[in-house]
Structure 1
């Protein structure tokens, strides 16, 4: 009988804890979304410092505080992306990389842009080989006739900058074989010529 009672109490504790965590998480999400409104507004107006750090004069919270205090929420995740872009716009590429590496991109086409942006940040830091990897990830994230060939082309350019000529050539060939009617096909052909010259030299 005692064992049954103990098991029952344990079950109630687990269920109660689960309900408490759910309600707490929902409250955190709501708070984070409300705080994000001002930061988003500043971000869209190009006020990147204010977006990042908020405005103490009007008691507005910035992206950094949202990330630190609500990092596990969806709004906190989105704040990481905004913060990465804001830091990049301010020329702070190391900080931008730190935020974008912790951002969880959404599935499907909406995730392509942030992943491509991650690759751009790496390129701005001279990390061309890693940038090529991430551009390829963006190309594969949502296969389509627009963003896939564009990101393959970007990956090829980054690979060439990294002096990975064979890899760049392979990427260009994929564009010309699989996406010969894409908007980047002509650029890919020109890049193919440049790669041929690099290989011959």
Structure 2
């Protein structure tokens, strides 16, 4: 057990003298160990300081480079891309809401009045969010122009977590495959679109399309599952208005 020694206290017994020597020896050993460790650390730093400074320098360059790229390269590139995309986006919106759709979709793709089209934005501003969005617009424009292979190509390049655009892009690919009479592929993409998000707009729409094409493929049980889901979970959706008719048809074909 450790003892507390008063100042000026001198060991009297042999045992006390031995204990005092051991305490001093242990303390000295600890300090010697610390000194040795410190010396080794100093030696390592001295020998390798060139490499240490290089590593620190590399880390600093990477961090500053990343911050600098975002501030002075990435942001300005995105602003430029957005500006270049503005007129093409206007053509697309006019095509959706107006007449002369084919010519407007073509202008949205290829540009007009000296302005970029979506294809130009994709080519000139690759890697920016605007170029990614341009893939969606381009693919959808090609779909309306009945160029289904290009529709699939550009829509497949579009990546998004958006609540509406993400399932719409999958569903549009499904529409393109349906027009190419590739029904199995169409069904696959309709199913992906229906499962990707759960909302009152895209989910019942693609459940309905998946159900209809499943019936055409002779998959009545699968179709019935999709139609029943619309009836039970989306009673206010426009697709629910005639869903009982499709449920009845699927039940007959499924033998239920």
The TM-score normalised by the length of structure 1 is 0.84
Deviations 1:6-58 (A, max 9, x none): 12221232123313432322122111101001111222333122221223xx4
**Of the candidates 5, 20, 31, which is equivalent to residue 80 of structure 2?**
31
User: Residue 207 of structure 2 aligns to a residue in which SS?
Assistant: helix
Instruction: Find the counterpart in structure 2 of residue 53 from structure 1.
Output: 110
**Of the candidates 108, 118, 126, which is equivalent to residue 181 of structure 2?**
126
Aligned alpha-carbon RMSD (Å): 2.3
Distance in 2 (CA, whole Å) between partners of 1:44 and 1:145 is 23
Structure 2: unaligned runs, 5 residues or longer: 1-48, 96-103
User: Residue 218 of structure 2 aligns to a residue in which SS?
Assistant: coil
Distance in 2 (CA, whole Å) between partners of 1:182 and 1:48 is 29
Deviations 1:116-148 (A, max 9, x none): 323222222222222223223332333234442
Instruction: Find the counterpart in structure 2 of residue 78 from structure 1.
Output: 133
* Higher relative contact order, chain-length normalized (CA < 8 Å, sep 6+): 1
Residue range with higher mean Cα deviation, 46-55 or 83-92: 46-55
Distance in 1 (CA, whole Å) between partners of 2:205 and 2:62 is 50
User: Residue 199 of structure 2 aligns to a residue in which SS?
Assistant: coil
Deviations 1:143-193 (A, max 9, x none): 234442232111101222233223212222333343456443342221223
**Of the candidates 221, 238, 244, which is equivalent to residue 189 of structure 1?**
244
The CA deviation at 1:83 is: 0.5
User: Residue 221 of structure 2 aligns to a residue in which SS?
Assistant: helix
Structure 1: unaligned runs, 5 residues or longer: none
Identify if the C-alpha distance between structure 1 residues 2 and 165 changes in structure 2 by more than 3 Å, giving closer, same or farther.
same
Distance in 2 (CA, whole Å) between partners of 1:82 and 1:141 is 20
Detail structure 1 runs of 4+ shifted over 3 Å in the superposition. 109-115, 144-147, 176-183, 196-200
**Of the candidates 132, 152, 177, which is equivalent to residue 207 of structure 2?**
152
**Of the candidates 156, 160, 164, which is equivalent to residue 101 of structure 1?**
156
Quick check: which has more Rg, 1 or 2? 2
The TM-score normalised by the length of structure 2 is 0.68
